[in-house]
Chain A
Amino acid sequence: MTAGFHPDAAPGYTPSATERSVHWVRQLAVIVLISAILLPIAWIFLTAFKTPRDVYSISSALWFTPTLENLQTVFREPWNLGNKIFNSFAVAGGTVLLAMPMATMAAYAFSRFDFRFKQSIFLVVIASQFIPAAVVVLPYFLMFKEAGMLDTRTALVLVNLSIVLPYAVWMIKGFIDAVPMEIEESAVVDGASRARVIWEIVVPTALPGIITAAVFSFTLTWNEFLFALIIGKQHALTLPIGLIGFRTERGDLWELMAAGGVLITAPMFLISLLVQKQFVGSLTAGSVR
Chain B
Amino acid sequence: MTIISLSHIDKSFGPVRIVKDLNLTIEDQEFLVFLGPSGCGKTTTMRMVAGLEHPTMGDVAFDGQRMNEVPTQRRDVAMVFQNYGLYPHMSVAQNIAYPLKLRGIALGERDKLVAKAADRVELGPFLKRMPRELSGGQRQRVALARSIVRTPRVFLMDEPLSNLDAKLRVVARAQIKHLAEDLKVTTIYVTHDQVEAMTLAHRVAVMQDGVIRQLGAPEDIYNDPADSFVAGFIGSPAMNLLPVQAQVSGLLAEGGLQIRLNAPRPGALLLGARAEDMRLGSLDDAHLQADVFTFEMLGESTMATVMVGQTLIAVKAPKDLRLRSGARIGIHFDPQRLYWFDAASGARIRD
Partners in one complex: yes
Chain A contact residues, CB within 8 Å of chain B = 2-3, 5, 9-14, 16
Some 25 contacts from A to B, beta carbons below 8 A apart, are A2-B53, A2-B54, A3-B13, A3-B53, A5-B54, A9-B54, A10-B56, A10-B57, A11-B57, A12-B9, A12-B10, A12-B11, A12-B54, A12-B55, A12-B56, A12-B57, A12-B58, A12-B59, A12-B68, A13-B54, A13-B68, A13-B69, A14-B68, A14-B69, A16-B69
What chain B residues lie within 8 Å of A11 (beta carbons)? Answer: 57
Q: Say yes or no for B312: interface residue by CB 8 A criterion.
A: no
A2 to B52: give the CA distance in the assembly, Å: 7
Q: Using CB atoms, name the residue of chain B closest to A11.
A: B57
Contact pattern, B 61-86, Cβ under 8 Å of A = 1, otherwise 0: 00000001100000000000000000
Q: Using CB atoms, name the residue of chain B closest to A13.
A: B54
Q: Using CB atoms, name the residue of chain A closest to B48.
A: A12
A11 to B59: give the CA distance in the assembly, Å: 9
Q: Kindly identify which residue among A3, A13, A16 contacts B55, using a CB–CB cutoff of 8 Å.
A: A13
A10 to B59: give the CA distance in the assembly, Å: 12
Mark out the residues of chain B between 272 and 309 whose CB falls within 8 Å of any chain A CB in the assembled complex: none
Mark out the residues of chain B between 247 and 292 whose CB falls within 8 Å of any chain A CB in the assembled complex: none
What chain B residues lie within 8 Å of A5 (beta carbons)? Answer: 54
Query: What are the nearest 7 A-B pairs in CB distance?
Result: A13-B54, A12-B55, A12-B57, A10-B56, A12-B56, A13-B68, A12-B58
What chain A residues lie within 8 Å of B54 (beta carbons)? Answer: 2, 5, 9, 12-13
A9 to B11: give the CA distance in the assembly, Å: 12
Smallest beta-carbon distance B7→chain A, Å = 11
Q: How many residues of B contact A (CB 8 A)?
A: 14
Q: Using CB atoms, name the residue of chain A closest to B12.
A: A10
A5 to B71: give the CA distance in the assembly, Å: 14
Smallest beta-carbon distance A20→chain B, Å = 12
Interface hub of B10, B53, B54, B57 (most chain A Cβ within 10 A): B54
What chain A residues lie within 8 Å of B55 (beta carbons)? Answer: 12-13
Smallest beta-carbon distance B122→chain A, Å = 34
Mark out the residues of chain B between 181 and 231 whose CB falls within 8 Å of any chain A CB in the assembled complex: none
A16 to B59: give the CA distance in the assembly, Å: 16
Smallest beta-carbon distance A5→chain B, Å = 7
A3 to B69: give the CA distance in the assembly, Å: 15
What chain B residues lie within 8 Å of A9 (beta carbons)? Answer: 54
Q: Using CB atoms, name the residue of chain B closest to A10.
A: B56
Q: Using CB atoms, name the residue of chain B closest to A14.
A: B69
A10 to B55: give the CA distance in the assembly, Å: 8
What chain A residues lie within 8 Å of B11 (beta carbons)? Answer: 12
Smallest beta-carbon distance B156→chain A, Å = 16
Interface contacts beyond A5-B54, A12-B58, A14-B69: sample of 19 additional A-B pairs, CB < 8 Å, sorted by A: A2-B52, A2-B53, A2-B54, A3-B13, A9-B54, A10-B56, A11-B57, A12-B9, A12-B10, A12-B55, A12-B57, A12-B59, A12-B68, A13-B54, A13-B55, A13-B68, A13-B69, A14-B68, A16-B69
What chain B residues lie within 8 Å of A10 (beta carbons)? Answer: 56-57
Q: Using CB atoms, name the residue of chain A closest to B8.
A: A12
What chain A residues lie within 8 Å of B52 (beta carbons)? Answer: 2
Q: Using CB atoms, name the residue of chain A closest to B59.
A: A12
A76 to B68: give the CA distance in the assembly, Å: 69
Smallest beta-carbon distance A4→chain B, Å = 11
Smallest beta-carbon distance B150→chain A, Å = 23
A2 to B54: give the CA distance in the assembly, Å: 9
Q: Using CB atoms, name the residue of chain B closest to A15.
A: B69
What chain B residues lie within 8 Å of A13 (beta carbons)? Answer: 54-55, 68-69
Smallest beta-carbon distance A2→chain B, Å = 7
Smallest beta-carbon distance B332→chain A, Å = 51
Q: Using CB atoms, name the residue of chain A closest to B55.
A: A12
Q: Using CB atoms, name the residue of chain A closest to B14.
A: A3
Mark out the residues of chain B between 1 and 59 whose CB falls within 8 Å of any chain A CB in the assembled complex: 9-11, 13, 52-59
A5 to B69: give the CA distance in the assembly, Å: 13
A13 to B12: give the CA distance in the assembly, Å: 13
What chain A residues lie within 8 Å of B69 (beta carbons)? Answer: 13-14, 16
Contact pattern, B 150-161, Cβ under 8 Å of A = 1, otherwise 0: 000000000000
Smallest beta-carbon distance B338→chain A, Å = 43
Smallest beta-carbon distance B57→chain A, Å = 5
Smallest beta-carbon distance B286→chain A, Å = 51
Interface hub of A11, A13, A16 (most chain B Cβ within 10 A): A13
A9 to B69: give the CA distance in the assembly, Å: 12
Smallest beta-carbon distance A149→chain B, Å = 54
A160 to B171: give the CA distance in the assembly, Å: 63
What chain A residues lie within 8 Å of B13 (beta carbons)? Answer: 3
Q: Using CB atoms, name the residue of chain B closest to A2.
A: B52
A257 to B68: give the CA distance in the assembly, Å: 58
What chain A residues lie within 8 Å of B58 (beta carbons)? Answer: 12
Smallest beta-carbon distance B75→chain A, Å = 14
What chain A residues lie within 8 Å of B53 (beta carbons)? Answer: 2-3
What chain A residues lie within 8 Å of B10 (beta carbons)? Answer: 12
A2 to B58: give the CA distance in the assembly, Å: 19
Q: Using CB atoms, name the residue of chain B closest to A19.
A: B71
A3 to B57: give the CA distance in the assembly, Å: 16
What chain B residues lie within 8 Å of A2 (beta carbons)? Answer: 52-54
What chain B residues lie within 8 Å of A12 (beta carbons)? Answer: 9-11, 54-59, 68
Smallest beta-carbon distance B23→chain A, Å = 14
What chain B residues lie within 8 Å of A3 (beta carbons)? Answer: 13, 53
Smallest beta-carbon distance A1→chain B, Å = 10
A16 to B53: give the CA distance in the assembly, Å: 16
A165 to B11: give the CA distance in the assembly, Å: 52
A9 to B57: give the CA distance in the assembly, Å: 10
Smallest beta-carbon distance A288→chain B, Å = 15
What chain A residues lie within 8 Å of B56 (beta carbons)? Answer: 10, 12
